[in-house]
Amino acid sequence: MRLVVCVISLLILVSCGSKNNSTSEDESEMDHRTGIRLKQYMVQGKKLYTTYCANCHQTDGSGLAKLYPPLAKSDYLMTDLERAACIVKYGMNGQIKVNDIEFNQPMPANDLTPIEIAEIITYVSNSWGNEAGISSTRDVSQWLKKCKN
């Protein structure tokens, strides 16, 4: 009797599992979920950016004269988001060039979690003309393990 019940529930599981097997449906479902996640990251990221970054880099990401480099259309940011995640966590020192302009002021470290850093990186890399898509918490956790600090 038990065996019969097992077999029946197994059959039900299998048939339910295969119901949604058309790949295009799966893909649009994935796109939909990624889209929602991107929106959530953007909302949270904006709040965190306002608290932790806007003082220096400005609300519109334009930076401040020769003191603070821009994030809006920053070649330095957009060519290496892994490096950017490390900068957010550990800060940075030394001379850098952003869009052909030299900067050399220290940026302080931030005591933020990988989730918060993922939201901030997603926000800055998808605002003000930047367009990089989502940097997931899982990606950012991996990146942070490889920081050279």
Q: What does the binding site for ligand HEC look like in residue numbers (CB under 6 A)?
A: 52-53, 55-57, 68-71, 74, 76-77, 84, 87-88, 92-94, 96, 98, 103-105, 107-108, 110, 120, 124
Q: Which is nearer to ligand HEC, 11 or 109 (CB)?
A: 109
Q: Which is nearer to ligand HEC, 30 or 68 (CB)?
A: 68
Shortest Cβ contact with ligand HEC: which residue?
A: 53
Burial call 8-24: b when 16+ CB within 10 Å, e when fewer: eeeeeeeeeeeeeeeee
Whole-number Å distance between alpha carbons of 31 and 42: 16
Is the torsion defined by CA of 33, 88, 59, 115 positive or negative? Answer: positive
Q: Which is nearer to ligand HEC, 11 or 110 (CB)?
A: 110
Q: At closest approach, how far in Å is the CB of 148 from ligand HEC?
A: 14
Q: Which is nearer to ligand HEC, 118 or 124 (CB)?
A: 124
Q: At closest approach, how far in Å is the CB of 140 from ligand HEC?
A: 12
Residue bearing tokens 């060519």:
79
Q: At closest approach, how far in Å is the CB of 35 from ligand HEC?
A: 23
Residue bearing tokens 């401040």:
64
Q: In sequence order, which residues have a C-beta less than 8 Å from that of residue 62 and are 6 or more positions away?
A: 70, 72, 128
